[in-house]
A and B are shown apart, each in its own frame.
Chain A
Amino acid sequence: MTEAPTSPPSDGAANTGARVLCLYRQLLLIRRAEERLITMFADGEVPGFIHLSVGQEAVSVGVMSALGAQDTIASTHRGHGHAIAKGLPLDGFFAELLARDEGLCRGRGGSMHVADMSVGMLGANGIVGAGLSIALGSALAHKRLGRKQVAVAFFGDGALAEGLLHECMNMAALWRLPLLFVCENNGWSEFLPSSKQISFALADLARAYGIPHTRIDGNDVVAVADAAADIVGAVRAGGPAVLECMTTRVRGHFEGDAQKYRDPDDLDALGPLDPIRVAALLLAGLGVEDAALKAVADEVESRIEAAVEAARRGHDPDFAAAYADVYSPAEAV
């Protein structure tokens, strides 16, 4: 099944109600999908570990609104938002998280490895920062093959401590690759505030490589979409850029993380920053009726319900088929 287009109707930079409502729909789709996962995880229906992007959805939706289906992304362990915003079929997404044979990865990857090559989603990743070099290579392929596509590397502020970031920023700048570095800066490196891990500002690092850096409110989906549209255009024309999105991690490092390391007042203060609330306020200001929001919410709910039900009807993966996929047969490329 094919999802609704991720790009809102282009209407210049004007914040038409229709454009923002389209972004809002994507935000809500990610949020409701993850809320459903929270319940199903608590019920023991979702195996393994999941890392939720609740509070960070505007980064995925805003950046992806500026990309085409042939543009490629490399995601992170916190990749559900990236996957859904890039247009992965919801059925295959939920089926994968439920470890079904019908899953996008046939139940072999799960949450941390959701991928869909057909829409340029080169995979969530269990290794912090690993997607950086995969996106670098994808950008290299776009350039060498004369394609007009861009590659996007998503990474968190925790990955600022990885040496691979240096190697990739250097190479992207040196070779002027069509690579967008998107830092989802949620202030946390697993269980520690990033202030206890990182001694530099990403803006300063980017400056060292001569890569343009833009820092924005990552919880304002319109701000992200506008910035991404400009920056992706520049990246496509030639050369890397860094987009640093200041955002909020609500559910801890992993689902089930009690966040005892975090001041409860700090968590309470996140409410007004909720990207969905921010977008809803903007929609109200644009005169979009509550009924329209309600209709979007109903549509999102029914899509998720259908996907979850389809996933529940799925089957356990076949061991022999999994074993057969350790290597590609000779004719596979």
Chain B
Amino acid sequence: MAEVRYLHAVNRALADALAADPAVVVFGEDVSEAGGSFGATRGLRGRFGEDRVFDTPISEAAIAGAAVGAALSGLRPVFEIMFMDFTTLVMDAMVNQAAKARFMFGGQSSVPLVMRTPHGGGLGAGPQHSQCLEAWFAHVPGLKVVCPSDPSSAYGLLRAAIEDPNPVVVVENKALYAMKGELPDTPEPMTIGRAQTLRTGRDLSFVTYGAAVHTCMAAARDLAAEGIEAEVIDLLSLQPWDFDAVLASVGRTHRLVIVHEAVEAFGPGAEIAARMAQDGFDELDAPIMRVGAPFMPVPFSKALEGAYIPSAAAVVNAARRVLA
């Protein structure tokens, strides 16, 4: 067991996947010579060669479309879209082609591709370099969406995504790239669709993913100082999401707060809340609360951005409301 940074875990997962399967290729803007704009692919070109780790022009639509054609023709492409905001440009390839090919061709084919892309604010990157758009992809049948919260899950989910026969969107919160955490000496792929319980508690459940996991853990510590014990469920995967784990937690605590950095309106929390209101109704002792970003673009100014991203204080406030 070693302590590594999130970014290193991503790099290690890519390296291990490249080493394990000659069909895996890694490409995207500045991923090869430069080693990635955040450094996620550093060193891979030297180790695996530029036939397998290569730079592309700034052509997001063709990068994603080529990944579909390559996946249908025997490769396992892993491509990077430098900021999740730029995934607006890959939508046809991901939504109309990758997501539907297996279904609309009658099960003839699989589309084993991975799109890695960082979301999230906190770096002053402004409205077009900070958005959390994972709900768009989670809404499309045929796509899987995962969102690792720490180095261990960054490794395990990326390996699982690359091994998966389906198109998988791996969303990494760029504010987490520098965080440190434990990674086993021989890490294993995780199971997509399985949540992890990071903290148990009797009083309420926080259901969350990505960077908001850490916000919830901080909120849970604050609440614990007052004798309130919150359970923290890290979804890890949004499509599919671990319905059973969430329902079981609600069954234990009877109070649910869903927290994410994505805009609250029509966000992933809306789906989880609706399902729990329907299937967990008898377990609930309070209305379900959601904590997400306000319905506005991600602002640039630190002062604005600080107020924009859901804080531990906002999560604590939501907890107080469901406990009231």
A residues with a Cβ closer than 8 A to B are: 72, 74, 103-109, 113, 115-118, 122-123, 125-127, 130, 132-142, 144-145, 151, 163-164, 167-168, 170-171, 174, 322, 325-333
Contact = CB atoms under 8 A, between A and B. Distances in A.
Interface string B41-73: 000000000011000110101101111111111
Interface stretch (B106-114, B201-209, B221-229): B106-114
B106 A105 contact: yes
A134 B74 contact: no
Contacts of A171: 56-57, 59, 62, 66
A48 to B, nearest CB: 13
Contact of A123 (B101, B107, B112): B101
Interface string B14-25: 000000000101
Nearest to A74: B69
A107 B106 CA distance: 7
Interface stretch (B90-98, B255-263, B269-277, B301-309): B90-98
B81 to A, nearest CB: 14
A127 B61 CA distance: 13
A171 to B, nearest CB: 6
Contacts of B107: 106, 325
A142 B97 CA distance: 20
A185 B163 CA distance: 41
Given A117-B109, A134-B65, A137-B77, A105 B72 contact: no
B33 interface: no
Given A134-B68, A168-B62, A326-B141, A105 B93 contact: no
Interface string B137-166: 000011010000000000000000001111
Given A126-B96, A141-B74, A327-B166, A134 B69 contact: yes
Nearest to A120: B73
The 4 closest A-B pairs by CB, nearest first: A133-B65, A137-B69, A106-B106, A137-B66
A329 B59 CA distance: 31
Given A123-B105, A133-B66, A322-B103, A144 B165 contact: no
B75 interface: yes
A138 B102 contact: no
Contact of B69 (A127, A138, A322): A138
The contact size tier of chain B is 35 or more
B165 A115 contact: no
A122 B25 CA distance: 20
B72 A163 contact: no
Contacts of A108: 103-106
Contact of B110 (A106, A115, A141, A333): A333
A140 B164 contact: no
Among the interface residues B72, B104, B107, which one has the most CB atoms of the partner chain A within 10 A?
B104
Contacts of A136: 62, 65-66, 69
Contacts of B163: 330
B240 to A, nearest CB: 9
A112 B108 CA distance: 16
Given A141-B75, A167-B57, A167-B61, A325 B106 contact: yes
A63 to B, nearest CB: 18
Contacts of B164: 330
A37 B111 CA distance: 31
A107 B104 CA distance: 8
30 contacts: A104-B106, A105-B105, A105-B108, A108-B106, A115-B108, A118-B108, A123-B101, A126-B96, A127-B92, A130-B65, A130-B92, A130-B97, A132-B62, A135-B69, A136-B69, A137-B66, A137-B69, A137-B73, A137-B75, A140-B75, A141-B69, A163-B61, A168-B62, A170-B57, A170-B59, A171-B57, A327-B166, A329-B165, A333-B110, A333-B112
Contacts of B96: 126-127, 130
A118 B61 CA distance: 27
Contacts of A123: 101, 104-105
B65 A113 contact: no
Contacts of A145: 23, 74-75
